[in-house]
Structure 1
Amino acid sequence: MKSNLNRMPLASAQGTPPTNYPKTLLSILASVGGLALFLLLGSSLLALQPNESSVRRNFYGVDSSRKVIDGGIVADIANRDGSDVGTSRNFNKDSRGVDHRNKDGEVGVFRNSDSSASQEKESDGDDQRNNIGGNGDNKQPSEPQYTVVPDSEQGETAKSSLSTQGLSEGNVVQPQHSGVKQGNRYGNDSTLHKGKKDGVTSSSPTTMVDPQANSECNLYHGKWIFDSTGPLYTNNSCPVITPMQNCQGNGRPDKDYENWRWKPDQCDLPRFNPKKFLELMRGKTLAFIGDSVARNQMESLLCILWQFEVPKNRGNRRMQRYYFRSTSTMIVRIWSSWLVNQTSEPFGFAPAGVAKVHLDVPDDVFMGFIPQFDVVVLSSGHWFAKQSVYILNNEIVGGQLWWPKKSRPKKVNNIEAFGISVETILTALVRHPTYHGLTIVRTFSPDHYEGGAWNTGGSCTGKVKPVVASDLAENPFTNIMHEKQFTGYARSINKKNNKSALKFMDITRMFEYRHDGHPGPYRSPDPNKKTKRGPDGRPPPQDCLHWCMPGPVDTWNEMVFELIRREFEEKQSTSS
């Protein structure tokens, strides 16, 4: 009996009366009742308070709330004035609403590629089908056929939001709502210019609010207007046009695409004056750094200046250099695929032969030259469609068109990698101890492959004037790449500690209207090239990424000229 008592609960062994249990239960019930009353009162108070979206709108004048819907769609919940918009960006369909899901359930976001090196030779013949921009540098990876971003990755990308840390009130990063293809998609932000050419173009709303924007006229709100004055040069008056961008020389029959000028709403964008530009850049160096679109822009500037003075070619294997003796001005181009370091040696489980992109390391190919430059124009983005391995903090975190570890999820896809690379290179420039120049971030250049990708029947054949605003179709990939680019720019500003300047030249939206400005099938001087659709309806091989010269790309350099003028005048006024 004694042993049984030892095994009994202490309360029973000591003969404690069982009436304690009801008392304990009553105390518990009283506590629960009090808690319920507290929660009821708290809920009533919360119902009277503004929600997070309203708080954000009241403090900053915007509501950047976004909702992720099934299928990787990001819906903008409210616009800048707080009203509901209910628009969405569908990452499972292209700008034409075509579903690119493959049989494995992945979404193919196909992008055109643009390889070209500092002293590259242009490919010809059948090679042009797979490489619209040339062979590229011998250390660059080969041309991929397409970009595939799985549903899971696109969902993660869609969920990512822009950082507003460190931005002052009124400078909150806010993506432009995607709108829909009907009527005037941008309300008061968009106006139709009805001129000599049937009003075929509209204004371009600025998609992001620049933290460093000043009170001067916004160059990126405006319209395309027809100007019968004609271009600043011709294909016959400039000897440095890459053959694939020499559209007239390659037999393009129409020429109106050369005559559309960009007109900001609140001011004029002056026509480029070569003499004044060289005088402004007296004793200075301007460098274009980046991919083949950077080459496209650099050649445009050279062609414009060539009409005033023929420069001396002082280039070498590291960079192209053109010297204008009258003002000791140097125009430079340096090839850099991603603007960050890339290696080819084996790394971890990534073998040799696949480009290793070190997202947190600036490209040492050009960083050593940076102190010599007074103005730097950056161009990147399209190489993130190419096969590569992404390395961050000395660890493989993702890949594009390459990922053997099926059991290991990617931490970074190509879109996120682009954003990281932008922040890396811009941070390196705004913290460089001996760089005091002006850095211009020329934003992501849109392509116009309609009806498919560059290698799946996409085409810009037959486009002879800018698109009408009501017919402009959204390109979700362009939208998110532009957004990531701006995020990297805004974050780098918060880290600035040197005397350099940083400007965001926002051409993306305005150039989405210029589907007429690409070479299309007129990318080769070959008299036997195909320029029409075949009997099966398939379009000929074409380039809908780079820009004809002369053509819309010349506008970029008019904007560069204006940004340089503003910066130099501001420096003069502050120093005097």
Structure 2
Amino acid sequence: MRIPRRKAGVPLGVPSRRAQIAAVFALAVLLGVSVLYDSAHIAASLRRHSGYNRLSPTREAPAGAGPRATPAQAVESAGAATDRTDPPPRLGAEGVSKSNPGTAADGSSPETGVLKEVVAEGGEATCDMYKGRWVHDEENAPMYKESDCEFLTEQVTCMRNGRRSDEYQKWRWQPDACDLPRNQWESMVCLVQSVAPWDKKKLVKNGSLNVFRLHEYNATIEFYWAPFLVESNSDDPDIHSITDRMITPTSIAKHAANWIGVDYLIFNTYIWWMNTPKMKIVPDGSFTRKPVKYDELDRVVAYRQILETWSGWVEENVDPKRTMVLFMSVSPVHMQSEGWGSPDNIKCFSETQPVLNYTKTLDVGTDWDLFTESHEVTKAMKKVPVHFINITALSEIRKDAHTSVHTLRQGKLLTKEQQANPRKFADCIHWCLPGLPDTWNEFIYGHIVSSPLQRQIENQSAR
């Protein structure tokens, strides 16, 4: 999010209720669909609820939140409802690459503490947004219609691509002790564009950088393609389906040049690490000279290296007084149906409900070692605090929310013959929209409206 400033760093005057705020996503899993929060709406939300709506001691849902789900409708996040959304205990060297605790479904809680956000005023801990359940909500979900958003890529428009049931759109996340802020919040380009005049919004794609501009607010949403955060041979935004992936763990300046001067930075890197247990490391970053000289490192070790490079850049180049940094945790895949008790099913194909009434531990193949590395590195950053958006365990439950066979393959919609072969063609990595990623953006909004930085922006825009 970019705000005009004097050379000394002091914000210039901005139009009342129109101060521009936009979000920069380095979030490959969202396929270029990002979030925008303009300060006019954020300021209004802050005055109403200052971040979160707490439930009363009697646990009554606030007005407008929709009915509490019946036992048949409420899906307890084995992880989220039992603190499973925190990382597993740190493993010793002998445990690396062997741990896959999955999402606990037995009510037990790990020894690690609950991840909480701290409100600046009074230092009171807010509720844990990630501890709760999925609630079937016919009235309030989804928050926008697939047909109303011209910016959705064909890869994620599942209903348009032939999916018959839209039940996956009708689940919302309900934290146990509060409600996610929902008043006037705008999430995803689709939510923003639906209220923007048709002639005052524009999406421009330019190589690795996609920019959605909302002219009325002088705000931009920028999606930057850097799947490993550091330089790699997969950096081409169009030609990156490379089996033999290589990275340079210490080279980040080329990508990071696009992150300077941004007000809200949101990072993610995960799925591109999952095709091999070893990563090829190219010391000098030259991927074109043949033959390429490389070393091999364990995936977890290499992941730690790039996170240390990234965190070093953030601490050296980001001013926490003007920029908030957020890091998305692991977005799970659903390739192993036996992991949720359906060994005869084919991956996520034909799944229409979240994981229901499953008493064992979910094991969908999530690499919890990578989760742990990202949580530890971000938690250790002191100069520039990083907000860890803990989406993993609650997303593991949503086996129903993937694009499956209602998507593209090499730029073309799957044929009927391909759709009839889900074992080969079902996409259980990407997510339908509207859908689960909208909930992730609610979490981001919750962090933003509860932050001291946002209160500072609100005060400036009100002058």
Contact residue 447 and residue 544 of structure 1 kept, 8 A: yes
CA 1:463–1:342: 2 relative to 1, 3 Å: same
Aligned residue pairs total 343
CA 1:452–1:339: 2 relative to 1, 3 Å: farther
Residue 237 (structure 1) aligned with residue 123 (structure 2): no
Counterpart selection for 1:257 from 160, 168, 174: 168
TM-score (norm. length: structure 2): 0.64
Counterpart selection for 1:337 from 227, 246, 249: 227
Shift of 1:251: 0.5
CA 1:179–1:240: 2 relative to 1, 3 Å: closer
**Residue matched to 2:281:** 390
Q: How far apart, CA to CA, are the structure 2 residues paired with 1:444 and 1:483? A: 10
Q: Bigger relative contact order, structure 1 or 2, given CA contacts below 8 A and separation 6+? A: 2
Shift of 1:376: 0.9
Instruction: Compute the RMSD of aligned alpha carbons.
Output: 4.1
CA 1:209–1:403: 2 relative to 1, 3 Å: farther
1:440-477, CA deviations, whole angstroms, 9 ceiling, x for partnerless residues?
10111000012599xxx962112111102425522454
1:380-415, CA deviations, whole angstroms, 9 ceiling, x for partnerless residues?
1111235752256x699xxxxx9999xx9x5x3112
CA 1:272–1:511: 2 relative to 1, 3 Å: farther
Shift of 1:543: 0.6
After TM superposition, the structure 1 = structure 2 runs for residues 98-497 of structure 1, keeping only pairs within 5 Å, are 156=93, 158-159=95-96, 184-187=105-108, 209-210=114-115, 215-229=125-139, 230-271=141-182, 273-274=184-185, 277=186, 301-309=188-196, 310=198, 311-342=201-232, 355-365=245-255, 367-386=256-275, 388-391=279-282, 412-432=297-317, 436-451=322-337, 459-468=347-356, 469-470=358-359, 472-475=361-364, 477-491=366-380, 493-494=381-382, 496=383
What amino acid is the match of 1:437? T
Contact residue 116 and residue 127 of structure 2 kept, 8 A: no
Residue 513 (structure 1) aligned with residue 397 (structure 2): yes
1:72-119, CA deviations, whole angstroms, 9 ceiling, x for partnerless residues?
xxxxxxxxxxxxxxxxxxxxxxxxxxxxxxxxxxxxxxxxxx899989
Contact residue 379 and residue 386 of structure 2 kept, 8 A: no
Q: How far apart, CA to CA, are the structure 2 residues paired with 1:441 and 1:115? A: 13
Shift of 1:248: 0.2
TM-score (norm. length: structure 1): 0.52
Shift of 1:430: 2.4
1:362-383, CA deviations, whole angstroms, 9 ceiling, x for partnerless residues?
2522x11322211111121111
Q: How far apart, CA to CA, are the structure 2 residues paired with 1:485 and 1:269? A: 24
Give the secondary structure class of the aligned counterpart of 1:550. coil
Contact residue 30 and residue 437 of structure 2 kept, 8 A: no
Give the secondary structure class of the aligned counterpart of 2:178. coil
Structure 2 residue ranges without an equivalent (≥5): 1-27, 34-90, 120-124, 235-242, 340-344
Identity fraction in percent: 21
Q: How far apart, CA to CA, are the structure 1 residues paired with 2:315 and 2:183? A: 29
CA 1:465–1:207: 2 relative to 1, 3 Å: farther
Shift of 1:238: 0.8
Give the secondary structure class of the aligned counterpart of 2:148. coil
1:37-91, CA deviations, whole angstroms, 9 ceiling, x for partnerless residues?
xxxxxxxxxxxxxxxxxxxxxxxxxxxxxxxxxxxxxxxxxxxxxxxxxxxxxxx
Shift of 1:267: 0.4
What amino acid is the match of 2:314? L
Which one has a bigger Cα radius of gyration? 1
